Amino acid sequence: MKIGMMVNGSIFSYDGESSQAFEDSRNAFMEAVTAAQTTQDSGCSCTREVPKNRVDVSSTKRYINGSIDDIMQDIKDGVLTLNIGDVVPCELTDGQKVIFEVTDIDETGYRLEMKELLKTMAHTDMQKWYDTFYKSLLPASLKNAIIPTKRKYKKDGDGKLVEVYAMIFTPSASEVFSEEEFDDNDWLGDRGVYEQLDFYKDWRNRIRCTVEDGKPNGWWLLSAYAGDSANFAYVGSNGACNGASAARAWIAAPVCFRIQKSK
């Protein structure tokens, strides 16, 4: 029997064979808990790992167990139905292990967003990096399930509405922040383009960490300042609304896409 604990996307497990292995795993777990607590309850949660079951239900999230190939096949066959907040594990083609969270559901697909931040860059470099990520890092079963998504944005924040289709995209500020947060940040330029997702009404779901050091980091949004295409909104390391020049290279690129539901 294997028991396990998940913190910050890492599973610390014990297979029942080695007391030293258990002690090492326990110490690693406690260190991760301490680290999570020092980042002001960033929303990282703990749960049991149940490898034999497809779904592991905790008090706050469901962790979908199995390989990404099996999970995608189950979704395609209609065996598995995802809910908002579900956590889907995935190993990228370069060996990195990440998790995707279900942030929205519509009639045709599930919206998945990667919890980890893989790379920081200027806002203007994101599209090129998205192309590379899609072509080179996604496993085939997941890439084949992604469907084009129509995205809307205002080029200079308060100008003409533009619509494009994308496979990988950046969330909009109006999807992440509330009306009250828009009131407090009147420089935001895409008010009303979307409605805030229920997933992001819990500020802890906005906090993401870089893979390099596991620490919370800011991540870009699609939204330009009102009347200013040189500056863009981003989510701060504490989940709050912030803005910066598009040239800032320390802010990370989020990964967001939609996958096909069972037909």
User: Phi and psi (nearest 5°) for 137?
Assistant: -105, -25
Q: What are the pLDDT digits (tens) for 177-229?
A: 999 999 999 899 888 899 999 999 999 999 999 998 899 999 999 999 988 88
Contact yes or no for 55/20 (Cβ under 8 A): no
Least confident of 16-20, 21-25, 56-60: 16-20
Task: Indicate whether 94 pLDDT > 50.
Answer: yes
Residue % of the chain over a pLDDT of 90: 67
Half-sphere exposure of 80 (CA within 13 A, CB side): 23
At residue 155, the pLDDT reads 74
Report which residue type is found at 138.
L
Cα dihedral 250, 235, 133, 149 sign: negative
- Beta strands per DSSP E along 106-215: 109-114, 116-117, 146-147, 149-154, 161-166, 208-210
Least confident of 32-46, 112-126, 132-146: 32-46
Dihedral, 12, 251, 194, 137 alpha carbons, nearest 10: -60
Give me the residue spans of the domains in the chain. 1-38, 125-260
At residue 29, the pLDDT reads 40
At residue 156, the pLDDT reads 66
Average pLDDT over residues 135-150: 98
Residue % of the chain over a pLDDT of 70: 76
Average pLDDT over residues 14-37: 42
- pLDDT bucket at 15, cuts 50 / 70 / 90: very low
Count Cβ atoms within 10 A of the Cβ of residue 154 and give its class: 0-12 exposed, 13-18 middle, 19 or more buried: buried
- The listed range with the strongest mean pLDDT (26-35, 54-63, 158-167) is 158-167
Query: What distance in Å separates the CA atoms of residue 161 and residue 31, rounded to the nearest whole number?
Result: 47
Task: Indicate whether 137 pLDDT > 90.
Answer: yes
Query: What distance in Å separates the CA atoms of residue 239 and residue 216, rounded to the nearest whole number?
Result: 9
The mean predicted confidence, pLDDT, of the chain is 82
At residue 61, the pLDDT reads 79
Query: What distance in Å separates the CA atoms of residue 77 and residue 75, rounded to the nearest whole number?
Result: 5
At residue 176, the pLDDT reads 97
Q: What are the pLDDT digits (tens) for 39-84?
A: 333 333 333 333 345 455 554 679 999 999 999 999 999 999 999 9
- pLDDT bucket at 142, cuts 50 / 70 / 90: very high
Q: Which one is predicted more confidently, 19 or 217?
A: 217
Pairing state of beta strands 97-105 and 87-91? antiparallel
Q: Which residue has the tokens 């697909």?
A: 109
Give the residue among 78, 44, 38 at the shortest CA–CA distance from 58.
Answer: 44
